[in-house]
Amino acid sequence: MDKARDAAGGQRRELATFAGGCFWCMVAPFEALYGVKSVVSGYMGGHVERPTYQQVCSGDTGHCEVVQVSFDPAVLPYARLLDVYWRQIDPTDAGGQFFDRGTSYQTAIFYHNEEQRREAEKSKRELAASGRFDRPVATKILPAAEFYPAEEYHQNYHKKATAHYARYRAGSGRDAFIEKHWGKEKEINKEGLRKRLTRLQYEVTQNSATEPPFRNEYWDNEREGLYVDIISGEPLFSSREKFDAGCGWPSFTRPLQPDQILKKEDLSHGMIRTEVRSKKTDSHLGHVFNDGPGTAGLRYCINSASLRFIPKEDLEKEGYGQYRSLFD
């Protein structure tokens, strides 16, 4: 079934399947999303049962390399997966992806139900109308077929062979393409921000200032809800991961959506630290340290001025209803 519930926790699970060229490069972007349960590399869309990697690469089976994502739609909407998908590929290339050519490397969205089909078609139309690319969008939208998991050595390749994976991504041209076509989103109209934000909010987000400890809006906030990017409204942190670190700033054990956080080395003020920035707006958020209480041992120390808090009772009216189940 395409929709199911966990026997223990009662969480919904739904499947989404995407072809985006080499499946090595398509796992990590989805795996990082909060609400994703698993990402499996495999093959779909062909006419041969249980194909091998060699058969698929030959182009004789008609299969595409795909990733199949199992996710909780109550936490992670399908539209968010589509948004992540488009940002990993060249949707105008009908003959493959980057230096990988042939049928097995073509792009496609394989829908598992009519709702997914409608959302996929809508997102494709919006992308085509955006003017982001100077050629037509060639990605196909097809009904899901039999899924065959790839050989074990292909699963989580980005973790098994990290160095080779990084060289492959860069050498293929994928990373450069993504930066060229999506990096421009980081450009923010600073004059407009000066009018929208308070002086402190502007200095923190745009000039990497630090607000005073114990004298900021959320350091001692104990209410349940979401903390979103003050500029874009992108959900960044949840009260479920917030804890009192005694430092005077709001602290979290992990971000809500790890792929929306950027980490950069910060050598300012004579220290060696890891800065945390919002990926969508490139805003300064704070720093992350290795002295947290969670299983990963991390403490995300964040400026209140970079955030807006949305109480759980206001999530629906603020447009974040899909996150309500986090607090049930």
In the residue annotation, 25 being an active-site residue is answered as no
Please name the residue ranges forming H helices in 87-237.
114-129, 157-160, 162-172, 174-182, 190-196, 199-207
The conformation of residue 128, written as its DSSP 8-state character, comes to H
Q: How far apart (Å, rounded) are the C-alpha atoms in residues 125 and 44? A: 24
Nearest to 220 by CA among 239, 202, 199, 237: 239
Options 57, 64, 247, 301, the catalytic residue: 301
Options 22, 25, 57, 64, the catalytic residue: 22
Q: How far apart (Å, rounded) are the C-alpha atoms in residues 93 and 192? A: 36
At residue 138's C-alpha, the angle toward residues 129 and 68, to 5°, is 105
CB atoms within 10 A of CB 143: 12
Region of 95 please: left (phi>0), alpha (psi -120 to 50) or beta: alpha
Q: How far apart (Å, rounded) are the C-alpha atoms in residues 228 and 35? A: 17
114-129 and 78-86 helices, crossing angle to 10°: 40
Q: Are 275 and 229 in contact (CB under 8 A)?
A: no
Q: How far apart (Å, rounded) are the C-alpha atoms in residues 240 and 312? A: 11
In the residue annotation, 22 being an active-site residue is answered as yes
Q: How far apart (Å, rounded) are the C-alpha atoms in residues 205 and 193? A: 10
Tokens standing for residue 295: 């299983």
Q: Looking at the annotation, which residues are catalytic? A: 22, 301
